[in-house]
Amino acid sequence: MSLDWFRVAAPQAFFPVAGKLIPWFSALAAAFAATGLYVGFFVAPTDHQQGESYRIIFIHVPAAWMSMFLYLVMAGWAGFGLALNTRLSGMMASALAPTGAMFTFIALWTGALWGKPTWGTWWVWDARLTSELILLFLYLGFIALKGAIPDSQRADRAGAILALVGVVNIPIIYFSVQWWSTLHQGASVSLTRAPSMAATMLAAMILMALAAWMYSIAVSFARLRAIILERERDAAWAQMQRSAA
Amino acid sequence: MNWGSLENFLAMGGYALYVWGSYCMVVLCIFLEVFFLNRSMKKTKA
């Protein structure tokens, strides 16, 4: 079993596996999103305090979750590659970064559009918002740093160090609403308490989070395939792939 | 949740700008990401 894992972990072996999985994850993402949007817009009731503006939650919270989660996975792969010198790990980290940055941007954007009607301001330098903005800069810095180093192995190592240092920001984002007095509200959903929201609202949010998860897997696998082909362009198998398509 | 009419649904209780502004940005981001992914894949294969 362990031997099989190592075989799949080779770029040329993972390439077709990822290709076969992408349509499945895309379909799951679409199905979860369709169900989540239906529940979010046609089943979940109006919020008695915020009216309809709260419906932004169905993308805001899943995007914010994904922005943090993808960073942890990215840093995990980067660190794994740094420690064990596995070729695919650095490519995995590179494949996740743009999607992580996108979800961070969406969390900030939807947060601004939600903040205006509920707090009266698009932006405030509060601990939660500021640390999420730093997360966006970490993603962009990671992408820029790797892009600036032509040698891919050196780029992987430099990127890994940046990604690992940046991990310290994740607990800061997560606990910012407890550690500091913030305009941003505390967590509505946590592992240790019952959620403080209606069951249908929660269901829509979870469905949208699953959709975001499946989407992230699909697009990062697609990006991984492009990165693999690019990096292995001189290998015989990659040239066969290119001429086959 | 029964919206009654399409107008009511689109109006989002007066929060149309904020709600649809959020959802439209997500659609745009996904569109751009998939577009650039396809382009980079084509470029690598070319």
CB A170 within 8 A of CB A131: no
- State residue A7's pLDDT score: 66
Q: Would A25 be classed as within a structural domain?
A: no
Domain, as residue range, for B23 = 6-45
Of the candidates A51, A226, A230, the beta carbon closest to that of B15 is on A51
Calpha distance A71→A93 (Å, rounded): 9
CB A242 within 8 A of CB B45: yes
* Nearest Cα residue to A62 out of A200, A204, A183, A185: A204
- State residue A112's pLDDT score: 96
- State residue A178's pLDDT score: 86
Which residues in chain A come in under a pLDDT of 50? Answer: 1
Of the candidates B12, B21, B33, the beta carbon closest to that of A102 is on B33
* Nearest Cα residue to A115 out of A22, A185, A171, A163: A185
Of the candidates B15, B33, B37, the beta carbon closest to that of A226 is on B37
User: How many percent of chain B have pLDDT more than 70?
Assistant: 98
Show contacts of A236-240: CB within 8 Å, 24+ apart.
A237/A12, A238/A12
- State residue B39's pLDDT score: 92
Q: Would A178 be classed as within a structural domain?
A: yes
Q: What is the pLDDT of residues B16-44, one digit of tens each?
A: 999 999 999 999 999 999 999 999 888 87
Domain, as residue range, for A201 = 55-184+196-244
Q: Would A50 be classed as within a structural domain?
A: no
Q: Would A26 be classed as within a structural domain?
A: no
| Contacts for A41 with CB less than 8 Å, ≥ 6 apart | A55, B1, B9
Tell me phi and psi for residue A133, to 5 degrees. Answer: -65, -40
Q: Would B1 be classed as within a structural domain?
A: no
List helix spans (H) across chain A. 2-8, 11-38, 57-84, 87-119, 127-148, 152-166, 169-179, 199-231, 236-244
Q: How near does any CA of chain B get to the CA of A2, in Å?
A: 31
Within chain A, strands assigned E span: none
Strand partners, A47: A51
Calpha distance A44→A35 (Å, rounded): 12
Q: Would B29 be classed as within a structural domain?
A: yes
Q: What is the ipTM of this complex?
A: 0.94
Q: Would B33 be classed as within a structural domain?
A: yes
**Number of domains, chain B:** 1
Q: What is the pLDDT of residues A103-149, one digit of tens each?
A: 999 999 999 999 999 999 999 999 999 999 999 999 999 999 999 99
- State residue A1's pLDDT score: 44
- State residue A48's pLDDT score: 86
Calpha distance A145→A165 (Å, rounded): 14
- Using a CB-CB cut-off of 8 Å, the residues of chain B touching A233 are 44
Per-residue pLDDT for B14 more than 70?
A: yes
Cβ–Cβ pairs < 8 A, chains A and B: 77
Q: Would B11 be classed as within a structural domain?
A: yes
Q: Would B15 be classed as within a structural domain?
A: yes
Q: How near does any CA of chain A get to the CA of B32, in Å?
A: 10
**Number of domains, chain A:** 1
Residue A15 identity (one-letter amino acid): F
Q: Would A35 be classed as within a structural domain?
A: no
Contact yes or no for B41 and A102 at CB 8 A: no
Calpha distance A145→A162 (Å, rounded): 9
- State residue B41's pLDDT score: 87
